[in-house]
Chains A and B, each alone.
Chain A
Amino acid sequence: SQTIHQWPATLVQPVGSPLSLECTVEGTSNPNLYWYRQAAGRGLQLLFYSVGIGQISSEVPQNLSASRPQDRQFILSSKKLLLSDSGFYLCAWSVGQGLNEKLFFGSGTQLSVL
């Protein structure tokens, strides 16, 4: 069966520090991968998605970047965190297309930038 691992579950970082959140998927190949963020009082917002190794699409301009060094690994990074980067970050993966596409979420990382 497929599983998605996302870590850490919580993270407290000072402003200006770097960030690296990792997400890995097991039990499937060539998944579509996504990073979502939920800021306080707001809905989930798609940040990045990837359809293959090295292929990253950014949905919104921001202080973050994403990379996909391996088929089932998706990394969210920042060189210098801002206060506004605080939020709940969710990795997700999907398989299938159209009506048959299913999206599966990780358990999320609560990031607090102080």
Chain B
Amino acid sequence: AQSVTQLGSHVSVSEGALVLLRCNYSSSVPPYLFWYVQYPNQGLQLLLKYTTGATLVKGINGFEAEFKKSETSFHLTKPSAHMSDAAEYFCAVSDRASNQGGKLIFGQGTELSVKP
């Protein structure tokens, strides 16, 4: 069975500092990997996803994530945090063998706070 673990339920950084949100997954086969962001009072939005090919994936708002198969990780990074990045971030996996790609398994979420 697949599972996702996000290390740290709450991360706080200063504006301009590096953002690093950690995600590790467990899967018997290489999965599809996703990062979603949820701003207050809004639905989840897709930041980026990895399906195949280049292991460094660039997403919206300057975020990127690198798929490391040997470490079973898909950490999300952004070189310089902005106040508007404050939100909750979810890592998710789906079974590439499944015909239902919307059947995602989510991590517990990491709330990012950005200090001025």
Contact = CB atoms under 8 A, between A and B. Distances in A.
Query: A and B from one assembly?
Result: yes
Interface of A: 4, 6, 9, 32, 34, 36, 38, 41-46, 49, 51, 59, 90, 92-94, 96-99, 101-108
Interface string B42-77: 111110000110000000000000000000000000
B106 A94 contact: no
A107 B43 contact: yes
A101 B101 contact: yes
Interface in B11-70: 32, 36, 41-46, 51-52
A105 B100 contact: no
A30 to B, nearest CB: 13
Most buried by B among A34, A36, A42, A43: A43
A99 B43 contact: no
Contacts of B115: none
A54 B111 CA distance: 37
